[in-house]
Structure 1
Amino acid sequence: MIAEGFSLLIDYGIYLLPGITLCALWFCLTPKTQPGLRIVILLLGFVLMRDVMTPLRFWFLSGDVQIGFISNPFVLAPLGVLSLAIVAALARIAPELWELISWSKGNRAVGLTLGIAAGCAIGVPLRLYQGIDTGQIAGYWPWLLSVVVLAYGGNALEEVLFRGFLQGHLEHHTSALRAALVSAVAFAACHSFLALSVTRIGWPISLFTLVEGLACSFVRTRYGVNAAIAAHGTAILLIATPM
C-alpha cells in the first residue's frame, strides 16, 4: 500500500507539473506591487492542484455532495502534509501577502469551538441525509486518520488563500462585510469548473460551496483564519467516505 501510494503521488506530480510550472512562473514574473493579481494566480494554481485529483481518481463527488476519497491513506496523509508545506513556503515566498493573514481574533478557544460548530452545522445534516453507515465500511477508522490530516491540512491551504490572502487584501479596500461576501462568492466561483465540467454535477456543488464559503468567511471575520480552518476541515471530514 505504501509503494502504491508513492507511485500515485509521483503520477500526480508529473501530471500536474506543466500547469503548476506555468502558474509559478506567472506568479514570479508578476510584480509584488500587484498583490491582487498575485493572489488570483495562487488561487488558480490551487484550483488546478485540486481539480487534477478528480481524473486521477483521488476523490469523487456525488449529487448529494458526498465526497469519496481514495482508500489508500498513504496518498491522503501526504497530500495534507504537502498542503501545510506549501503554506509554510508561502510565508517565505510571499511575505507581503503573509502579512494580510489575521490568524486569530478575540478568544482563541471560543473561535475554534465556534468554527468546529459551524462545520458540524454544515456537515451533520448532509451526513444524516446521505444515510452513510460507517460501521459497514471496511477499514473506515484507520482510513479516517489520514482524512483528518487531509481535511485540516488541505483546507488550511485553501483557507489561507481565500480567507487569509484574498479576504485580508479586500479588507484594506472595502468593508469587512463586503470582503467576507466577496471571499465567499469567489470561493464558490472557483468550484464552478469542478461542478460544471470536471464532475458535471452542477448546482449542488455550487450551492454547498457558497454556503460553506459564507460560513467560513464570517467565522474568519469574527475569529480569524484558524477558526475558518476548523469550520472548513470539520465540514469536509463529516461528509467524507472511502472510495
Structure 2
Amino acid sequence: MITQGIGVLVNYTIYLAPGLLLFGAWFALTPKSLPAMRILTLLAAFVLMRDAMTPLGLWALSDEVQIAFTHNTFVLAVLGGLSLLLIAVLAWVAPELSRLIVWFKGRRAHGLAVGLAVGCLIGVPLRLFQGIDPQTIHGYWVWLPGMVVLAYGANALEEVLFRGYLQGYLEQQVTPLRAALISGVAFAACHAFLALSVTQLGWPVLLFTLIEGLACALVRMRYGVLAATLAHGTAILLIAVPYIA
C-alpha cells in the first residue's frame, strides 16, 4: 500500500507542478501591500490542487453528494499531513496574512462543541439519506484513520484560506456578518468548476457547498477558525466512503 501510495503521490505532484509553479510566481510577484490579490491567488491555487484529484482518481463525487476518497490510507494521511505543513509554510512566507486568522473566539470548549455539532447537523442527515453503513463497506475501518487525517488536515487548510485569510481580511472592510456571507458564497463559487465541468453534477454540489460554506463561515464569525475546521472536517468525514477504481 505504501509503495503504491508513493507512486500515486509522485504522479499527483508531477501533474500539479506546472500550474503550482505559475501560481507560486504570481503570488511571489504580488506585493504584500495587495493582500486581497495574494489571498485570491492562494484560493485559486487551492482549487487547482483540490480539483486535480478528480481526474487522477483520488476522489469522486456522486449526484447525492457522497464523496468517495481513495482506499489507500497512506495517501490520505500524507495529503492531510501535507495540508497542515502547508499552513505552517504559509505562516512563514506570508506572516501578514496569517495575522488575519482568528483561531479562537469566546470559550474554546464551547466553540469546539458547536463546531462538532454543526458538522454533525450537516453530515448525519446526508449519511442517513445515502444509507452509509460501515459494516457493508469492504475495508472501511482500515481506511478510516487515514480519512480522519485527511478530513481534518485538508479542511484545516481550506478553512485557513477561506475563513482565516479571506474572512479575516473582509472583516477589516465590512461588518462581520457580511464578511461571513461573502466567505460562504465565495466557498460555494469556488466549487463551480468542480460541479459544472470536472464532475458535471451541477446544482446538488453547489447547494451543499453553499450550505456548508455559510455554516462554517458563521461558526468562524462566532467561535473562530478551529471551530469552523471541526465543523467542516466532521461533515466531510460523515459522508465519505472508500473509493476503489
Question: TM-score interval w.r.t. the shorter chain?
Answer: over 0.9
Distance in 2 (alpha carbons) for counterparts of 1:135 and 1:177:
42
Q: State the TM-score, normalized to the length of structure 1.
A: 0.99
For 2:102 and 2:78, how far apart are their aligned partners in 1? 26
- Pair 1:222-2:222 in alignment: yes
Residues in 2 aligned to 1:225 and 1:239: alpha-carbon distance in whole angstroms: 22
Tell me which residue corresponds to 1:36.
36
- Residues 135-214 of structure 1 aligned to structure 2 (within 5 Å): 135-214=135-214
- CA deviations on 1:138-171 (whole Å, 9 max, x unpaired) are 2111200000000000000000000000000000
The 3-state SS of whatever aligns with 1:100 is coil
Residue 126 of structure 1 is matched in structure 2 by 126
Residue equivalent to 2:234: 234
SS in 2 for 1:60: strand
Q: Which residue of 2 aligns with 1:19?
A: 19
CA separation in 2, counterparts of 1:75 and 1:57?
Answer: 12
TM-score (norm 2): 0.99
* Structure 1 residue ranges (4+ consecutive) displaced by more than 3 angstroms after TM superposition: none
Is residue 116 from structure 1 mapped to residue 116 from structure 2 by the alignment? yes
Confirm or deny that 1:58 pairs with 2:58. yes
Deviation (angstroms), 1:23: 0.2
For residue 18 of structure 1, what is the amino acid of its counterpart?
P
Report what 1:80 is aligned to.
80
Taking only aligned residues, the RMSD between alpha carbons, in angstroms, comes to 0.4
- Following superposition, the deviation at residue 43 of structure 1 comes to 0.1
Residues 191-211 of structure 1, C-alpha deviations (whole Å, 9 max, x = no match)? 000000000000000000000
Distance 1:70 1:166 in 2: 30
* Structure 1 counterpart SS, 2:53: coil
Question: Partner amino acid for 2:228?
Answer: A
Equivalent position of 2:70 in the other structure: 70
Cα displacement (A) at 1:133: 1.6
Which residue identity does 1:48 align to in structure 2?
Answer: L
Q: Distance in 2 between matches of 1:154 and 1:206?
A: 19
Q: Provide Cα deviations, 1:164-195, integer angstroms capped at 9, x if missing partner.
A: 00000000000001000000000000000000
The answer to whether 1:46 aligns with 2:49 is no
**AA in 1 matched with 2:38:** R
Counterpart CA distance in 2 for 1:139 and 1:201 is 27
Secondary structure at the counterpart of residue 9 of structure 1: helix
- Give structure 2 stretches of 5+ with no counterpart: none
Letter in 1 for 2:138: A
Structure 1: any 5+ residue segments left out of the alignment?
none
User: Hey, what's the Cα distance between the residues in 1 that align with 2:164 and 2:59?
Assistant: 26
Residues 12-53 of structure 1, C-alpha deviations (whole Å, 9 max, x = no match): 000000001000000000000000000000000000000000
Sequence identity (%): 65
